[in-house]
Amino acid sequence: MVGKVGIIGLGLIGGSLARRLNGNGVEVIAWNHRPHPYAAAQAEGIRCVGTLAELAAAEPQVLVLCNPLKAMPGILDELKPLLDAHPGITLTDVGSVKGMVRSQVEQAGLGECYVGAHPMAGNELSGWSAADPHLYDDALWAITVTQHTDYRRFLTIAELIVKDCGNRVIVIDSDTHDRAAALISHMPHVVATSLINELVCNPDRNIAAALAAGSWRDMTRVALTDPNRTRAMVEEDNVNVEGLLRSMAARLTAMADALHDGDVDTIGGFFAEGQPFREYKHAREFAEGELAIPEAGWQQALLESARRGEAIIGFIDEHRVRVRVHAMPTGGTD
Amino acid sequence: MVGKVGIIGLGLIGGSLARRLNGNGVEVIAWNHRPHPYAAAQAEGIRCVGTLAELAAAEPQVLVLCNPLKAMPGILDELKPLLDAHPGITLTDVGSVKGMVRSQVEQAGLGECYVGAHPMAGNELSGWSAADPHLYDDALWAITVTQHTDYRRFLTIAELIVKDCGNRVIVIDSDTHDRAAALISHMPHVVATSLINELVCNPDRNIAAALAAGSWRDMTRVALTDPNRTRAMVEEDNVNVEGLLRSMAARLTAMADALHDGDVDTIGGFFAEGQPFREYKHAREFAEGELAIPEAGWQQALLESARRGEAIIGFIDEHRVRVRVHAMPTGGTD
């Protein structure tokens, strides 16, 4: 267990994390750019401080950056001398695009003490008033590491997630993370936006909207959120999103051609191709096993484990973990 | 009010309709290809008969085809002499692709007494055991008509929907219906399937699937349902789906180009284009008004009303209706 954690930013993600850790017996110290959540947080036992210097002086093992991205450079600059003075503190964050945060951290000269993290948790709300420790129920986190990441610091963050939050974790590099996030979130946001654009440009848009039911509602939900936030997310990950959009366009065009030609083999193949994902989603029982983490090349060993569909669910000792396996059948798709 | 209605097929849609009409004081007579729901239906006051001939002999004002599509040709052939003998009965259906059902009805020589209908109601369940009168709560129906549709027969179906079901209705032609359905359902099903295909083909598919959260879950939900059913739906509406897939592919490619070029104007335009739909979805108050239906050209007048976002919510008399307006702002998109 990590005994003491500092949280920077008591919004939805940071506030929920602070409440969850506090509820699990971790000593939590928090700083927020405005003190409005402090009374409520302190009533729960979360110690709130007025400056980042006070936060560092409390010497938590981990400092978690839960601030908005736009505040990141300023906060990192302010943290640099504080973390130089307290080198035992490991810095992490909860951002959804890992490459960019890592660049900012390295630019600020804090790369050595940093281990990236991204909890798959969140909802449409924001702010401390929406913070809820249950937001992290059954959450999976990605930890992002480099060839230079210190194993002890990685271990601290992994234990914080697995032991103190009670969550699962996979360990990958920032590029793999951001490519995967482009596939399951950033690119689909563009697709959802294209769907509503297609509707708006149709002369029968009001008729189509009147007839829209569950499939349309679900597929366009994310296009209804603030388009500026979506745009920023897409532009931050533009290279990955661009490639995936071209691949999707090719898939849709191939299917249009097959419908035009009445090419039943191609149509059949199109509807069969995703079957491994359907089976993955229908899986209800997961194998568990033990994974030994080698001292040399631990990053690659953990990346390969994640590629096999394994997530860390517990620590046996510092070099052995329990994993749960949730993987797609490979079949003919490899 | 329609006094007596015959229902053909007591599955989810037909059974729910029978229960809703029966609960609203309409005399309901039902036939099902197998009698297993009869005991339960009769306990509620729905009269169940053993043959379609008995159903026609009861002389309901309306017969509603709620049978599976594959049973349609056989049932229509059996109904032809029965409806010739009882010309006062108006035939309707609840199918989700209107052009095909109309062709089948006309091929059976029943076009004169037919008015198409499609309730926007349903869920993932099926069969009488899932039938629920609340399935139709707040539902909107499309009525589909041609230049040859008899106004009295249209009026009977419209009153059944508005007065007896307590639902809203728009009146359009089959082609407009099927184009709109392609836009808000059939094409998006192909897009959802493309998304899971994209994932399955990615070497980091297990990592991406582990990181997937709400946006991915919602956008791929319909790709998890029986792909054979989706395939049949797409192939039935292939011309409309093909055109929409090409349009979507062009949108995704244009956005990929804009991301590649850092073309902020195009990117900004892309995220702004769907704004009328976002405003449409956020609307909470709807204007109501009165619509006069002309004797000549009533079909076109009602189609234009639907295009303006108006739905019929009540009858003042046989040529005047109350409408509720839920329309997208037009702005610069026209």
B-chain CB neighbours of A176 within 8 Å are: 204, 207
The answer to whether residue A279 sits within a structural domain is no
**For chain B, what is the mean pLDDT?**
95
Q: What is the mean pLDDT of residues A91-113?
A: 95
B-chain CB neighbours of A195 within 8 Å are: 188, 191, 248
Same domain, A188 and A208: yes
Confidence category of residue B225, pLDDT binned at 50, 70, 90:
confident
Residue in A184, A191, A271 closest to B230 by CB: A271
Same domain, A49 and A101: yes
Q: What is the CATH number of the domain that holds B238?
A: 1.10.3660.10
pLDDT, tens digit (0-9, with 9 covering 90-100), for A293-308: 999 999 999 999 999 9
CA of B284 to nearest chain A CA: how many angstroms apart? Answer: 15
Q: Which pLDDT value is given to residue A140? A: 96
Looking at the 3D structure of chain B, how many domains does it have? 3
Domain end residue (candidates: A224, A247, A273): A273
The answer to whether residue B15 sits within a structural domain is yes
Q: Which pLDDT value is given to residue B334? A: 43
Same domain, B79 and B114: yes
CA of A168 to nearest chain B CA: how many angstroms apart? Answer: 10
The answer to whether residue A280 sits within a structural domain is no
pLDDT, tens digit (0-9, with 9 covering 90-100), for B172-196: 999 999 999 999 999 999 999 999 9
Q: What is the CATH number of the domain that holds A114?
A: 3.40.50.720
* N residues, chain B: 334
CA of B87 to nearest chain A CA: how many angstroms apart? Answer: 31
Q: What is the mean pLDDT of residues A152-159?
A: 98
Residue in A172, A203, A271 closest to B193 by CB: A271
Least confident of A115-129, A204-218, B168-182, B237-251: A115-129
Domain end residue (candidates: A146, A172, A198): A172
Dig out the tokens for B255 from the structure. Answer: 């956005």
Residue in B140, B188, B205 closest to A328 by CB: B205
The answer to whether residue B55 sits within a structural domain is yes
Nearest chain B residue to A263 by CA distance is: B235
**For chain A, what is the mean pLDDT?**
95
- Cβ distance B272 to A190 less than 8 Å, yes or no, reads no
Residue in B140, B179, B224 closest to A210 by CB: B140
Task: Specify whether the CB–CB gap between A145 and A115 falls below 8 A.
Answer: yes
Nearest chain A residue to B263 by CA distance is: A235
Same domain, B117 and B251: no
The answer to whether residue B91 sits within a structural domain is yes
Q: Which pLDDT value is given to residue B97? A: 87
Same domain, B308 and B163: no
Q: Which residues of B183-198 are buried (b: 16+ CB within 10 A; e: fewer)?
A: bbbbbbbbbbbbbbbb
Domain that residue B18 falls in: 4-172
- Cβ distance A248 to B272 less than 8 Å, yes or no, reads no
- Cβ distance B201 to A333 less than 8 Å, yes or no, reads yes
Same domain, A30 and A76: yes
- CA A148 to chain centroid: 21
Q: Which pLDDT value is given to residue A98? A: 93
Confidence category of residue B331, pLDDT binned at 50, 70, 90:
low
Alpha-carbon distance values, A177 to A100, B28, B92 (Å): 12, 58, 53
pLDDT, tens digit (0-9, with 9 covering 90-100), for B43-69: 999 999 999 999 999 999 999 999 998
> Taking 80 as the threshold, does the pLDDT of residue B145 lie above it?
yes
Q: What is the mean pLDDT of residues A171-181?
A: 97
Confidence category of residue B110, pLDDT binned at 50, 70, 90:
very high
Domain end residue (candidates: A153, A172, A191): A172
Same domain, B314 and B287: yes
Residue in B189, B249, B281 closest to A253 by CB: B249
B-chain CB neighbours of A276 within 8 Å are: 200, 205
> Taking 50 as the threshold, does the pLDDT of residue A333 lie above it?
no
Compute the CA torsion angle A205, A206, A207, A209 (nearest 10 deg): 80
> Taking 60 as the threshold, does the pLDDT of residue A254 lie above it?
yes
Dig out the tokens for B244 from the structure. Answer: 């929409």
pLDDT, tens digit (0-9, with 9 covering 90-100), for B303-326: 999 999 999 999 999 999 999 999
Same domain, B100 and B77: yes
> Taking 50 as the threshold, does the pLDDT of residue A169 lie above it?
yes
Residue in A176, A246, A328 closest to B209 by CB: A328
Least confident of B30-44, B80-94, B220-234: B220-234
The answer to whether residue B66 sits within a structural domain is yes
Residue A331 zone, left/alpha/beta (φ > 0; ψ -120 to 50; rest): left
The answer to whether residue B272 sits within a structural domain is no
- Cβ distance A249 to B245 less than 8 Å, yes or no, reads no
Q: What is the mean pLDDT of residues A175-200?
A: 97
Task: Specify whether the CB–CB gap between A67 and A93 falls below 8 A.
Answer: no
B-chain CB neighbours of A304 within 8 Å are: none
Confidence category of residue A97, pLDDT binned at 50, 70, 90:
confident
B-chain CB neighbours of A221 within 8 Å are: 215, 218
Q: Which pLDDT value is given to residue B333? A: 43
From the list A220, A91, A294, the residue with the least C-alpha distance to B185 is A220
Q: Which pLDDT value is given to residue A331? A: 57
Same domain, B23 and B149: yes
Same domain, A106 and A239: no
Same domain, B156 and B105: yes
Classify burial at A265, counting beta carbons within 10 Å of its beta carbon; exposed 0-12, middle 13-18, buried 19 or more. exposed
> Taking 60 as the threshold, does the pLDDT of residue A264 lie above it?
yes
Least confident of A201-210, A214-223, B323-332: B323-332
Residues whose CB falls within 8 Å of the CB of residue A270, separated by 6 or more in sequence, listed in order:
A251, A254, A255, A258, B190, B193, B194, B197
Q: Which pLDDT value is given to residue B125? A: 80
Same domain, A261 and A197: yes
- Cβ distance B249 to A245 less than 8 Å, yes or no, reads no
CB pairs under 8 A between A and B: 333
Alpha-carbon distance values, A262 to A267, B180, B228 (Å): 8, 22, 16
Residue in B176, B231, B259 closest to A271 by CB: B231
ipTM: 0.94
- Cβ distance A194 to B272 less than 8 Å, yes or no, reads no
B-chain CB neighbours of A248 within 8 Å are: 194-195, 198, 249, 252
- Cβ distance A308 to B205 less than 8 Å, yes or no, reads no
